[in-house]
């Protein structure tokens, strides 16, 4: 278990560093005001309409960097710092979330797969580690197909589903950013300086998902070694 704590601490440290860097980037590019004077909400609505999407609402949501697209009620939820602001960071985030709306409208396969996994992941992510630890406690090292071993394997399967979800999230997020940046550039929505800021902001946002995926894979491998190693 000591090795696991070291692993978790290392991942948490990297995650904190990346998140902190994202915050500083967002703050920096929030000072780069858009020449077109459009707010994040207006950027979002324009991108949706340019893609022929009129059944998605753009609404404001409390918090900071709480922006997300909800495919269930078809809403682009923009944080207060994005919805009302008129800067490169707000434009980047607003366009990115609309990128998810475009994915939804065009039945982007990775997003469809990710959405289908959400109900399972909501359960598996909270139960997997408890089942693995419980299986180890029950004594998976005993000879034969023990109950503990079966419980631990079930836990690993559930953890594998959650890990797969983290990996599938990567192409979804990167593709949304690519769609956002392409639209901002092709429609001349931003200047060269503003575009550079938007690109840099989205790059660091994507890295938070990358760190999460690496952490999920590392954690699963650790527990797999614990289960199968003790079995042997």
Q: Which among 172, 76, 61, 155 is positioned nearest to 116, based on CA atoms?
A: 172
Compute the residue count for the chain. Answer: 232
Q: Which among 52, 80, 35 is positioned nearest to 197, based on CA atoms?
A: 35
Q: Which of 42, 45, 97, 199 is catalytic?
A: 97
**Does 97 participate in catalysis according to the annotation?**
yes
Residues 6+ apart with CB under 8 A from 78: 40, 41, 44, 58, 59, 60, 61, 67, 93, 94, 97
Q: Which among 118, 119, 129 is positioned nearest to 158, based on CA atoms?
A: 129
Residue with the two structure tokens 């005993």: 142
- Tell me, rounded to whole angstroms, the distance of Cα 130 from its chain centroid: 24
Residues taking part in catalysis:
97
């Amino acid at each position: 278990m000591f090795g696991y704590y070291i692993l978790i601490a290392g991942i948490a440290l990297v995650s904190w560093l990346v998140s902190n860097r994202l915050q500083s980037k967002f703050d920096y590019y929030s000072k780069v005001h858009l020449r077109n004077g459009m707010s994040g909400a207006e950027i979002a609505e324009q991108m949706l309409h340019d893609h022929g999407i009129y059944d998605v609402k753009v609404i404001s949501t409390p918090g900071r960097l709480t922006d997300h697209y909800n495919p269930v009620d078809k809403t682009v939820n923009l944080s207060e710092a994005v919805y009302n602001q008129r800067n490169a960071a707000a434009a980047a985030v607003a366009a990115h979330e609309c990128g998810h709306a475009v994915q939804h409208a065009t039945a982007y396969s990775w997003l469809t797969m990710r959405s289908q996994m959400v109900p399972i992941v909501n359960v598996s992510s909270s139960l997997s580690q408890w089942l693995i630890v419980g299986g180890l406690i029950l004594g998976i090292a005993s000879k034969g197909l023990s109950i503990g071993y079966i419980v631990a394997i079930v836990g690993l399967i559930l953890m594998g589903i959650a890990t797969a979800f983290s990996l599938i999230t990567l192409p979804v997020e990167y593709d949304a950013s690519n769609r956002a940046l392409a639209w901002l550039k092709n429609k001349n929505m931003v200047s060269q300086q503003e575009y550079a800021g938007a690109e840099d902001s989205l790059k660091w946002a994507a890295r938070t998902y990358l760190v999460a995926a690496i952490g999920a894979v590392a954690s699963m491998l650790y527990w797999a070694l614990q289960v199968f190693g003790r079995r042997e």
